[in-house]
Amino acid sequence: MEERLQKLMAQAGIGSRRHNEKLIEAGRVRVNGRLAAPGDKADPDKDRIEVDGRRLQFSQQKHLYIALHKPKGIISSLEDELDEGRPTVRDLIDVPGHLYPVGRLDKQSTGLMLMTNDGKLAHHLTHPRYRHEKTYEVVVEGRIPQEALEQWRQGVMLDDRLTAPAKVRVVQQQKSATHLEVVMREGRKRQIRRVATILGHPVTRLKRVKIGPLELGDLQPGQWRHLRPGEVAALQKAVRK
């Protein structure tokens, strides 16, 4: 049965569908020796699908689910796009096989990242239409006034359109800094940092502590662990809603 290439690639553990679409656009995917194009379909029982020259295998594979505490200075991708030898989140996890991050954190941010080879779950957790909540601990410069907080909660103009409403709660306020809890269902590039700067209170520290029902817990920077069966079940239940 024919299915879209990006979906088949996800089933083979290559990456999320959005990640796989980029591989196709970059000319790294071939079907029966022919360069694939966005929108192409294939039948895994009949067609030879290759990514970077390696044929995909569709035998049943065990899904892996790993929680990682990303440290500051580590990039949240599978490889260094700039070829500067920068360490990635994949370098931190000593597990064989293909494993990729669900979503991203910028280089200076820390906190929870989910690593998996379950393409279907990754797709549902990262696609904007599913709008799963992510929770962050954020420290910004100065005492942020109530008016700025209300603006953040209701939406700030970013890239010519308003950000989605967010939950923003003051945890602690000092003369030189404000500690916040930010809960979002949207994830534009560096969104929290950019919004805080627009409001006049740049971020000095940002840590993600929750993705849907999955919590960072007591994992220390650089540490990782396999998810417990109950955590996997909770994530799968969340994406079925």
pLDDT tens for each residue of 124-138 = 888 777 788 999 999
Q: Is 106 a catalytic residue?
A: yes
Q: What percent of the chain has pLDDT over 90?
A: 63
Q: pTM here?
A: 0.77
pLDDT of residue 125: 86
**190-222 pLDDT tens trace:** 999 999 999 999 999 999 999 999 999 999 999
Q: Is the pLDDT of residue 118 over 90?
A: no
Spatial distance between the Cα atoms of 213 and 220, rounded to a whole number of angstroms: 19
Residue type at 192 in one-letter notation:
I
Q: List, in order, residues 6 or more apart from 91 with CB less than 8 Å away.
A: 74
Q: Is the pLDDT of residue 39 over 80?
A: yes
Return the structure tokens found at 69: 């505490």
177-184 vs 203-211, strand pairing mode: unpaired
* pLDDT bucket at 60, cuts 50 / 70 / 90: low
- Residue intervals in the chain for CATH 3.30.70.580: 65-129+213-240
pLDDT of residue 3: 80
Question: Alpha helix (H) ranges present in the chain?
Answer: 5-11, 17-25, 119-126, 146-154, 191-198, 229-240
Q: Which CATH superfamily is domain 3-55 in?
A: RNA-binding S4 domain (3.10.290.10)
- Residue intervals in the chain for CATH 3.30.70.1560: 133-211
Q: What percent of the chain has pLDDT over 70?
A: 96
Assigned CATH topology for domain 65-129+213-240: Alpha-Beta Plaits (3.30.70)
Per the CB < 8 A criterion, the answer to whether 125 and 239 are in contact is yes
Spatial distance between the Cα atoms of 159 and 54, rounded to a whole number of angstroms: 39
Q: Catalytic: which of 47, 106, 118, 160? A: 106
3-state DSSP helix/strand/coil percent for the chain, to nearest 5?
25, 30, 45
Average pLDDT of the residues in 20-40: 93
Nearest to 182 by CA among 126, 135, 237: 135
| Residue 167 backbone dihedrals phi, psi, to 5 degrees | -95, 120
- Residue intervals in the chain for CATH 3.10.290.10: 3-55
Assigned CATH topology for domain 133-211: Alpha-Beta Plaits (3.30.70)
- Nearest-Å Rg of the Cα atoms of the chain is 20
